[in-house]
Structure 1
Amino acid sequence: MIGDNEGVSSSAAEFRAGFACFVGRPNVGKSTLMNALVGAKVAITSSKPQTTRRAIRGIVTRPDAQLVIVDTPGLHRPRTLLGERLDSLVLSTLTEVDVIGFCVPANEPIGKGDRFIAEKLAAVKKTPVVAVVTKCDLASREQIAGQLLAVSRLADFAEIVPVSAESGEQLGTLGDLLVDRLPESPPLYAGGELTDEPEHVLVAELIREAALEGVRDELPHSIAVLVEEMVPRQGRDDLLDVYAQMYVERPSQKAIVIGPKGARLKEVGTRARKHIEALLGTHVYLDLRIKVAKDWQRDPKQLRRLGFYD
């Protein structure tokens, strides 16, 4: 487990603890928002849609509460078996949390995807929904005001709050609104963890994030990463050997990721290693290989091997 926040005493009066999730269509800033609230990078981010593929949990511990945020993949109309499983993951998460944050960007008009999700949320009768207008740093005051009005017409939300994860504007207010809807409970996690994700999963995600930079638009959906082994170097207590395999669906995609004379793959490895070292607090040797797994997004057997279960 990764963490460096200080824990709190479970004896605090009216201490609240519970789960919130952020939902929205792809690329509306859910992962960036969760990282900002947690105060650390626990979910990868990218300008490419559908970057998030797992329900990553980030843990915010305050003197009065512990808020566990579940960052979900973007809801969309799926075109592959992977897409179907990701949507199923999101919809099952909605029924397991105490409060839902519905994210809509301030700088883009309300679209079919937003209305589709609002309809799905309307079916979750017992869970309060807070509408979150994200990316306010990219919009004018007039745009923000117009978007708040447009969002209010989608459904009868418990609250509507504009925020900016980049500038920090209204993050405290959003945290308070979510915490207010948690049940009274002692902390769910002790020891100040920031996430309960296994380290090898976080490392694989950091490698995939590095691979997403500078590749063609179609590649992010075709890249998967599996960390096969993480072991201390024999005779060294300051060096971790990480063996990872990157998968793409076609030989042409493999050539793109490798780049001329292996230059792009080397850049991916260098970028990923720096983030992994920051995450784990130790020097890392990264052995990164790339293989073709034909049409893995549509193959149930390969999806299971890569960690995407039914």
Structure 2
Amino acid sequence: MVAMSVRTDSSSAPYRAGFACFVGRPNAGKSTLTNALVGQKVAITSNRPQTTRHSVRGIVHRPDAQLVLVDTPGLHKPRTLLGERLNDVVRTTWAEVDVIGFCLPADQKIGPGDRYIAAELAGIKKTPKIAVVTKTDLVDSKALAEQLLAVDRLGRELGIEWAEIVPVSAVDAHRAIEAAKSRTAEAESGGSGAAAQAGVALPGQVGLLADLLVPLLPEGPALYPEGDLTDEPEQVMVAELIREAALEGVRDELPHSIAVVVEEMLPRTDRPADRPLLDVHATVYIERPSQKGIVIGPKGRRLKEVGTRSRQQIEALLGTPVFLDLHVKVAKDWQRDPKQLRRLGF
């Protein structure tokens, strides 16, 4: 469970539970913010736009509420069938959540992409909206103040009444969480997931954001069991961690055409109970034969690095030693092929 900042009147306030989603153009900090609020990685992050391909639910447990965060792909002008489907995911999510957080980076002026999304949000009348100015650690106080005023003007121009305008630095919050978790590592020795997060309070503006989201949720009982951090299947999360590692270092060389499918996850049967090992067999799909060498690297060095990096993340996620078997295959132009999109989980 992630311990969050609690209002002084929480004992008398009704318990609330509901869904919130973060929207914004690609690379606006939505996944990083989701991970910071949950206190653990449940959504992959990258400096490259369109990293998120699934609506990942991160679950924030509080004494007074359960906040279920739906992390959506960035809304963008689609160039492929995959892009069209990702936009459909965003719009469907907007129609189903209790509150929408619109993320705008503090270090970038409001542009056509932000206005396009804001105009669509203006048409959703009943759902409350919070403007979240992200990446505040990248700007000084003057630039931040100018961005906050610009966001306020954007809302007034389009007829959006922001429930709140909140500046946050998810990176600073993540560092504080990791520091707090490391201080309690001995007490949590052998634990993972929610257990390793017990007693970790979200600092600063990220904690405030959670406090502001909760009153906008409906009253009602918890939607997920205590301790659950996401409802994503483990195989999907493992595939996403591998894809994140595969993207690292090839953003300038390789188009955003990597997909990962976990074919099998099975415990090694000949291992003693005190020395378990999980066998994970996964395939990295790219669109063209010329991309294969980029992913594998000279003498297989790059694929080995991908395996090492993602295996460490997978072991941290699952709390067990992992043997990771990776293969690279070509699925020609899969982003434009409906049949292959279905096979790859889109």
Task: Please name the residue that 1:123 is paired with.
Answer: 123
Backbone CA RMSD of aligned residues: 1.4
Q: Is the alpha carbon distance of 1:189 and 1:61 closer, same or farther for their aligned partners in structure 2, counting shifts above 3 Å?
A: same
- Looking at structure 2, the residues matched to 249 and 12 of structure 1 have their Cα atoms a distance apart, in angstroms, of 56
Count of aligned positions: 301
Q: Give the SS at the match of 2:151.
A: helix
Tell me which amino acid in the other structure corresponds to 1:263: R
The answer to whether residue 112 in structure 2 is matched with residue 112 in structure 1 is yes
Using the TM superposition, give the Cα deviation of residue 220 of structure 1 relative to its aligned residue in structure 2, in angstroms: 5.3
Task: Please name the residue that 1:199 is paired with.
Answer: 234
Using the TM superposition, give the Cα deviation of residue 61 of structure 1 relative to its aligned residue in structure 2, in angstroms: 0.5
The answer to whether residue 33 in structure 2 is matched with residue 33 in structure 1 is yes
Task: Please name the residue that 2:325 is paired with.
Answer: 287
Using the TM superposition, give the Cα deviation of residue 158 of structure 1 relative to its aligned residue in structure 2, in angstroms: 1.6
1:71-150 matches, within 5 Å, as: 71-150=71-150
Q: Is the alpha carbon distance of 1:104 and 1:230 closer, same or farther for their aligned partners in structure 2, counting shifts above 3 Å?
A: same
Q: Is the alpha carbon distance of 1:29 and 1:134 closer, same or farther for their aligned partners in structure 2, counting shifts above 3 Å?
A: same
Task: Please name the residue that 2:260 is paired with.
Answer: 225
Task: Please name the residue that 1:208 is paired with.
Answer: 243
- Looking at structure 2, the residues matched to 158 and 283 of structure 1 have their Cα atoms a distance apart, in angstroms, of 45
Q: Deviations over 1:259-305 (max 9, x none)?
A: 11111011000101000000001110001000000000000000000
Tell me which amino acid in the other structure corresponds to 1:53: R
Task: Please name the residue that 1:260 is paired with.
Answer: 298
The answer to whether residue 170 in structure 2 is matched with residue 165 in structure 1 is yes
Task: Please name the residue that 1:307 is paired with.
Answer: 345
User: Are the equivalent residues in 1 in contact too, given 2:2–2:62 (CA < 8 A)?
Assistant: no
Q: Deviations over 1:218-238 (max 9, x none)?
A: 635200000010000111241
User: Are the equivalent residues in 2 in contact too, given 1:51–1:220 (CA < 8 A)?
Assistant: no
User: Are the equivalent residues in 2 in contact too, given 1:30–1:103 (CA < 8 A)?
Assistant: yes
User: Are the equivalent residues in 2 in contact too, given 1:66–1:187 (CA < 8 A)?
Assistant: yes
User: Are the equivalent residues in 2 in contact too, given 1:21–1:99 (CA < 8 A)?
Assistant: yes
Using the TM superposition, give the Cα deviation of residue 157 of structure 1 relative to its aligned residue in structure 2, in angstroms: 1.4
Using the TM superposition, give the Cα deviation of residue 12 of structure 1 relative to its aligned residue in structure 2, in angstroms: 8.2
Q: Give the SS at the match of 2:342.
A: helix
Tell me which amino acid in the other structure corresponds to 2:149: L
Structure 2 stretches lacking a partner, 5+ long: 4-10, 156-160, 174-203
Tell me which amino acid in the other structure corresponds to 1:48: R
- Looking at structure 2, the residues matched to 165 and 271 of structure 1 have their Cα atoms a distance apart, in angstroms, of 22
User: Are the equivalent residues in 1 in contact too, given 2:134–2:167 (CA < 8 A)?
Assistant: yes
User: Are the equivalent residues in 2 in contact too, given 1:12–1:64 (CA < 8 A)?
Assistant: no
- Looking at structure 2, the residues matched to 86 and 281 of structure 1 have their Cα atoms a distance apart, in angstroms, of 31
- Looking at structure 2, the residues matched to 254 and 307 of structure 1 have their Cα atoms a distance apart, in angstroms, of 21
Task: Please name the residue that 1:46 is paired with.
Answer: 46
Tell me which amino acid in the other structure corresponds to 2:46: S
Tell me which amino acid in the other structure corresponds to 1:49: P
User: Are the equivalent residues in 2 in contact too, given 1:104–1:131 (CA < 8 A)?
Assistant: yes
Using the TM superposition, give the Cα deviation of residue 153 of structure 1 relative to its aligned residue in structure 2, in angstroms: 1.4
Q: Deviations over 1:182-205 (max 9, x none)?
A: 010110111310101100000000
Using the TM superposition, give the Cα deviation of residue 216 of structure 1 relative to its aligned residue in structure 2, in angstroms: 3.6
Tell me which amino acid in the other structure corresponds to 2:233: P
User: Are the equivalent residues in 1 in contact too, given 2:16–2:221 (CA < 8 A)?
Assistant: yes
Question: How much identity, in percent, do the aligned residues show?
Answer: 72
Q: Give the SS at the match of 2:171.
A: coil
Q: Is the alpha carbon distance of 1:161 and 1:301 closer, same or farther for their aligned partners in structure 2, counting shifts above 3 Å?
A: same
- Looking at structure 1, the residues matched to 84 and 292 of structure 2 have their Cα atoms a distance apart, in angstroms, of 25
The answer to whether residue 206 in structure 2 is matched with residue 174 in structure 1 is no
User: Are the equivalent residues in 2 in contact too, given 1:5–1:193 (CA < 8 A)?
Assistant: no
Tell me which amino acid in the other structure corresponds to 1:186: P
User: Are the equivalent residues in 1 in contact too, given 2:28–2:105 (CA < 8 A)?
Assistant: yes
TM-score (normalised: structure 2): 0.85
